[in-house]
Structure 1
C-alpha cells in the first residue's frame, strides 16, 4: 500500500504559455477540465484557479511577453526595479544602446535617490531582465531612417495597402493634447474709461489622449495629471475618465503601454482586430516585450502628422470648443452668485475638469470625426471626397462658436488655442522618475501655485440631495423639458438616498421624548 506522501501528487508549476493554451482550449470547448488537467498532470482545481485568474494571466502575457515564466515574482526592491524599467524603456524608445553594466550603474544611482541600501549584482540583473523580458542583442549595422516624399505620397502608395482587410469601424487614430483646464476668456466687458484688472492666467494642466475610429462610432478618452492622488478624488468610486499621473503630466511609454494592453484585452474578448495610426513620438513606443495580438500599430511618416492625422483635422478643435463652452457656462453660474473669477477658478479641480472632458468628448459628433478622417484622406478610392475645414465645422451642428459664448471671434480663437503649444511628452529625468514613487498624498492636494484645491469632500445629506432634486423638477416643469429623462434621473437619485440610509426600526417612530 502506497504511503500518503507517495500518493500525494507532485506540485506542477505551469508556465504562462501553458496557462494560455488551457484557457484557449476551454474557450474552444475542445476538452473538458478533467481531461485538460490530466494532459497537464495537474489537479482539476488548478484549472479552476486558472480560469478565475484569466484576466491577470492575459495581462501578464501581454505586458511582459516572457511566456516561459510561471508567475511574476515580487522583489524587495519593487520601486527600484520599476524606476529602472521606466528609465530603460524611455531610453530604448529613443534608440539608445544600453548594456548590462549601464543598467546596473543606473540602478545604483536610483537606489541612492530612493535612500535604499542596494548593490546591484549579476543575479539581480538576470532577474530584472527575466521580469522585463529583456535580452542582449548584437548590433548588425545601422538601420536607415525611412524617407517619404511627403504626406500625399504616403497616403497614395502606403496607406491603401495598410488598411486592406480592415473595415472602417476598425481603423483608429490616437493623439494627445495639452489642456489648461481652468482657462477662461482673457478679457471682460467694461464701461468706457474703466480699467478692469484681471488675475494671472490659470495654467493648471492635464494631458488628454483621444482614441477614435473612422466612423466615430467608438471613441475613448484618457487623462494624465500631475497629482498622484488628488484630494478631490477622495470617496469617489468611479472617475468619469481613466486617470494616470506623473510629475510632468506627460504621456510616457509606460502609460501608453498600459492603455493599449487594456484595449487589447477588450478587443481579444470581442475576437476583433484593429489598425491604429499614431505619430512616431517617443512616448508611443511600447515597452520592449509587449505583445498586442489585436492591435496593428502603424506610425505616420515624420513631419506629416499635421496634414494626415485625423484628430488634428478638427476633432481636437471641436472638443476644445465644447470644453471651453462648458467651463464658461459654469463661470456664468458663478457670476450670478457673485463669485469672483479667482474664487471660481479654485472650484475647478481635476475631478470637475474630468467631468467636463467626458461631457465635451461626448458632444463631438460621429459626423465630425468621420469628416476629419475624410479630410485626412483616410478613405477608400470610391469614397474619396475633398473635405474642407469649413465643411467639418458646418456639419458639427452642436459645436459652439464665438457668438454662443458671447465673446469676439478673435478671443474665441485665442481661448481655444491657448494651450496649443503645450508639450504632451518628453524625457523624465532619473530624479523625476524617483519623485513619482516618493510623492505622498499630503502633497497631491495642492496645485502648482501651492494653493489648496479644496477641503475634503463630504457626502451631501439626503435632505440636501432631495432639495436639489426639487429645484431641478421646478426647472423642468417651467421649461417644458423631457419628463421621461427627468424621471429616470430621479430614480437614480432615490437609489442614492436609499443607499445613504441605515435600516430603521418601526419602534424608533414610537420612542419616548
Structure 2
C-alpha cells in the first residue's frame, strides 16, 4: 500500500465528527439543489463525509417540514423520535390547536391529555412520566412562557428572527407570483350600521349573534397578479334563495357553524394544487397554524409554510390589510344599496338582503381589492426586504357613505368607519379545541373529505326563493341601462359592453327555448315510430 493512500486513510479516520444543525442541513440541501457544485465538494465544504450528505438528502423532506413548520429549534442537531410516536403525534396536534387558541397550558395538563389520548389509541396501561413529557417538549422545542391579557403579545424579536432565518430563506426559492397567502375571516353578512354599536364590544363564537354570519377565505399571491376565487362557508347547504341558481360566482360550502374545518381545507387545497400542477408551477402556500390548517403531504405542486403561533398580526399579509380592505369594500357596497333603497322612497327599516345578494356583494368586494393593495400588504408583512414603513392600502371610500347616513339620521353619529368595518373581526372561523376522538380520527384518516359538521337544517333564514327572471324582463332592464348611460354622456365602450351582455342573454334564451325535455323526447320518439308503421 502506498504511503499516500495510507496517509489519506489516516486523515479520514482521524476526521473530527461533525453534526450539522437543522439550519445547516437546510443550507446544505439548498446548495445541492442549486447545482453549482458537485456533491463531493459540498460535503467537503460542510466538513462531512459524502455518505453523510447522502443520508441528509434522503431525509430532506423531513428536515424541510421541521424547518419550515416554524415550531422547531433551528439550531437543533438531532431529531430523535418518540418511543410512542402515535401518542406523540396526537398530543402535538392537540397542543397546536390549544396554542392557536391561546389556551394557557401546563405540564400536568399535557400529561393528563397524553394519557387520555393513549387510552383512545389502545394503550390503557400507559402513563405519562415527567421524563417523557420533558423529551416531548425538547423534540418539539416547547417552552413554558407566561401569558398576559386575553391574547398573547407578538414577540418582535421572534418575528424578526423568523423572517431572517426562515421566511427569506424559503422565499428565495420562489418567484413572487408563486407565493400565496390564504386566510379566513368571519363576516356578519346582514349587519347594517344601526346594529353595529351593539356588537362592537362583544366577541361572538356562537348563538344568536352568529346566526347570520359566513366565513370567507381569501387567497392571493405575493405580487398581486392572481387572486383565487373566494370561498364562502355558511350554515345551509341549499338555502331557498339559491334555488334555480346554477352557478355561483364563489366557491360555496356549508356546515352547521359556518366554520372552516380540516375537511373543507383539504377539499379546497386539492383543486388549488391540481390547478398549479396543470400549469406546471411549484408554489408556496402560506397559512397560519390554526387547527383547521394541516399539512397535506402528497400534493404535487404546493408546499406549505406555517406561520409561527401568535404572530399572524405581524407576519400574515391578509391580516396586514387585505382582509380589512375586502371588508371595507363589502360594507361600502352594502351602504350604497341601503342609500339606493332610501332614495327610492322606502324606509331604512324595510331594507334587507338575502344570502344570494350577499354572495354577489362579497364577490364584487373581492374583485375591488387591487393588485397594489395586495402587494403592499405582503410588503408590510415582511415578504419584501425593502423598506415597509409607509405601506398603505387603497381606500374603499366608505367614509362619505357613513357620513351621509349619519346626516340622514339612519345611524348613530358616534359610529366610526373602523367600528363598522371591523365589527366582526373577532368572529371564530374554525372549531375550538378538538376532542381526543376528533384528534385521533383526523390523524388516522387525513384523506377524509366528508364534512362532519354538516347538518341539514329545516330552518332557512337566508332569504326566500326567487322567482325566475324571463328573457323579456332581462332585456327590458338592459334597455333601461342603455338609457341611463346615454342620459349621463356614457362612453361607447360601456354601451358596447351592454350590447355584448344582451347578445349573451339572447343565447341563453335560445338554449332554453330549444332544450328538449324528457317528456318531449319520448313524445317525439313515439311519433317517429308511428310514422314508420
TM-score normalised according to structure 1 size: 0.62
Q: Residue deviations 1:243-285, cap 9 Å, x none?
A: 1111111111111111111101111111111112111111112
Residues 4-403 of structure 1: pairs in structure 2 closer than 5 A: 94=97, 102=120, 141-142=135-136, 143-145=139-141, 149-186=157-194, 204-220=212-228, 221-286=230-295, 290-345=297-352, 348-380=353-385, 384-388=386-390, 391-393=391-393, 396=394, 399-403=396-400
SS at match of 1:232: helix
Cross-structure match for 1:496? 508
SS at match of 1:385: coil
Cross-structure match for 1:117? none
SS at match of 1:150: helix
SS at match of 2:281: coil
Cross-structure match for 2:17? none
Cross-structure match for 1:485? 497
Q: Residue deviations 1:307-361, cap 9 Å, x none?
A: 121111111111111101111111122223444444322xx22221111111101
Cα gap change, 1:89 to 1:254, in 2 (>3 Å): farther
Residues 1:472 and 2:468 are matched in the alignment = no
Q: Residue deviations 1:25-65, cap 9 Å, x none?
A: xxxxxxxxxxxxxxxxxxxxxxxxxxxxxxxxxxxxxxxxx
Cross-structure match for 2:471? 462
SS at match of 1:210: strand
- Counterpart CA distance in 1 for 2:91 and 2:360 is 35
Cα gap change, 1:503 to 1:155, in 2 (>3 Å): closer
Cα gap change, 1:409 to 1:478, in 2 (>3 Å): farther
Q: Residue deviations 1:155-189, cap 9 Å, x none?
A: 1222111112200111111111110111222289x
- Counterpart CA distance in 2 for 1:94 and 1:369 is 28
Residues 1:440 and 2:463 are matched in the alignment = no
- Contact 1:323 1:356 (8 Å CA) reproduced: yes
SS at match of 1:206: strand
SS at match of 1:284: coil
Cα gap change, 1:89 to 1:160, in 2 (>3 Å): closer
Cα offset, 1:139, TM superposition: 11
- Contact 1:256 1:286 (8 Å CA) reproduced: no
Cross-structure match for 1:17? none
Cα gap change, 1:464 to 1:278, in 2 (>3 Å): same
- Contact 1:210 1:222 (8 Å CA) reproduced: yes
- Contact 2:471 2:506 (8 Å CA) reproduced: no
- Counterpart CA distance in 2 for 1:403 and 1:233 is 33
Q: Residue deviations 1:437-494, cap 9 Å, x none?
A: 7733643x235xxxxx21x222112222222122111111112222122222222222
Please say which structure displays the higher CA radius of gyration: 2
SS at match of 1:173: strand
Cα gap change, 1:300 to 1:146, in 2 (>3 Å): farther
- Counterpart CA distance in 1 for 2:454 and 2:388 is 52
- Counterpart CA distance in 1 for 2:471 and 2:358 is 26
Cα offset, 1:436, TM superposition: 5.8
- Contact 1:469 1:490 (8 Å CA) reproduced: yes
Cross-structure match for 1:67? none
- Counterpart CA distance in 2 for 1:495 and 1:181 is 33
- Counterpart CA distance in 1 for 2:280 and 2:195 is 52
- Contact 1:401 1:412 (8 Å CA) reproduced: yes
My pick for the range that moved more, 200-209 or 491-500, is 200-209
My pick for the range that moved more, 327-336 or 311-320, is 327-336
What residue ranges of structure 2 are gaps of 5+ in the alignment?
A: 1-89, 99-112, 123-131, 144-154, 197-207, 407-412, 442-449, 517-533
- Counterpart CA distance in 2 for 1:489 and 1:103 is 60
- Counterpart CA distance in 2 for 1:266 and 1:100 is 40
Cα offset, 1:231, TM superposition: 1.3
Aligned length: 355
What residue ranges of structure 1 are gaps of 5+ in the alignment?
A: 1-86, 105-137, 189-199, 448-452, 505-513
Cα offset, 1:102, TM superposition: 3.1
TM-score normalised according to structure 2 size: 0.60
Cα offset, 1:90, TM superposition: 8.3
SS at match of 2:193: coil
- Contact 1:93 1:285 (8 Å CA) reproduced: no
- Counterpart CA distance in 2 for 1:101 and 1:172 is 40
- The RMSD of aligned alpha carbons is 3.6
- Contact 1:90 1:253 (8 Å CA) reproduced: no
